[in-house]
Each structure stands twice: as structure tokens, then as C-alpha cells.
């Protein structure tokens, strides 16, 4: 199944949460923080959204930081993705 986002939506795949602290302590799944860094998998076309012209500034392959609880979680072919608005992307990681 292929996900094709509409308008100003972006499909991202969250990076894995850290399993160890910098001190070497192994964290349980419930103690791990939800990751905010994600990889862009697909980008919508942009265009007119809520009466405003939106130009997409992210591209497939970019590493981005998203708002902590933004978007909708979707599972496709056994992989979890998040669909967010471009406005929920806070930065591109270079």
C-alpha cells in the first residue's frame, strides 16, 4: 500500500526511541520518550489550504522535528507512520 498525502500533509516515519541513556542505563519501552525526529516519506502537493496558498518546503528523505503530539498515526504494511500538516513540522535536521 502506498500513502499519498493530500494538500499540506506530510507522511513521516518516526525514528526509533533511544533504548539507553547516555550513562548506559537500559530503558523499558514505557520509560522511553516518544521520538520527535522523523524521516519524510511522502509530501502532499501544497496549494490552496484554508484560503491561503501553501508551498511545500520539505522533501522526501528530509529528517524533521515534529510537534510532540501532532498528526494521525497510521499503520501500512506493518510499518507505523504519522501524517502531519507541514505547519506541525518545527525544523529540518541537517
- Give the total number of structural domains in the chain: 1
For residue 90, being part of any structural domain is answered with no
| Domain CATH for 59 | 2.30.33.40
- Cβ neighbourhood burial of 66 (10 Å; 0-12, 13-18, 19+): buried
pLDDT averaged over every residue in the chain: 86
For residue 89, being part of any structural domain is answered with no
pLDDT of residue 19: 56
pLDDT of residue 1: 80
For residue 23, being part of any structural domain is answered with no
For residue 79, being part of any structural domain is answered with yes
Question: pLDDT by residue (tens digit) across 27-69?
Answer: 555 544 555 899 999 999 999 988 999 999 999 999 999 988 8
For residue 12, being part of any structural domain is answered with yes
Range of the domain at 55: 1-16+29-84
Amino acid at each position: 500500500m502506498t500513502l499519498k498525502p493530500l494538500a499540506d500533509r506530510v507522511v513521516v516515519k518516526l525514528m526509533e526511541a533511544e533504548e539507553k541513556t547516555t550513562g548506559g542505563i537500559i530503558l523499558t519501552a514505557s520509560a522511553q520518550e516518544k521520538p520527535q525526529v522523523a524521516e519524510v516519506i511522502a509530501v502532499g502537493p501544497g496549494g490552496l489550504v484554508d484560503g491561503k496558498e501553501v508551498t511545500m518546503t520539505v522533501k522526501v528523505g528530509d529528517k524533521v522535528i515534529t510537534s510532540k503530539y501532532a498528526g494521525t498515526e497510521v499503520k501500512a504494511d506493518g510499518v507505523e507512520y504519522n501524517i502531519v500538516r507541514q505547519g506541525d513540522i518545527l525544523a529540518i535536521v541537517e
